[in-house]
Amino acid sequence: MSFRFTVCQRSRLVRRVVIVTVMAMKWFLVPACAEEARAVPTPKEIVVTIDNFSFNPPEVTITPGTTVTWENRDDIPHTVVETGKSFRSHALDTGDRFSFTFAGAGDFAYFCSLHPHMTGIVKVQPPPGGAAAASMGGGHAVP
Chain contacts with Cu ion (rule: CB under 5 A): 78, 112, 114-115
In angstroms, give the least distance from the CB of 41 to Cu ion. 32
Q: Which is nearer to Cu ion, 113 or 125 (CB)?
A: 113
Q: What is the DSSP letter of 127?
A: P
In angstroms, give the least distance from the CB of 47 to Cu ion. 17
In angstroms, give the least distance from the CB of 51 to Cu ion. 11
Counting other chains too, the contacts that 90-96 makes at CB distance below 8 Å and 24 or more residues apart are 92/50, 95/71, 96/71, 96/72
Q: Which is nearer to Cu ion, 4 or 85 (CB)?
A: 85
Q: Which is nearer to Cu ion, 88 or 115 (CB)?
A: 115
d(CA 42, CA 135): 20
Judge whether 99 and 142 are in contact, CB under 8 Å: yes
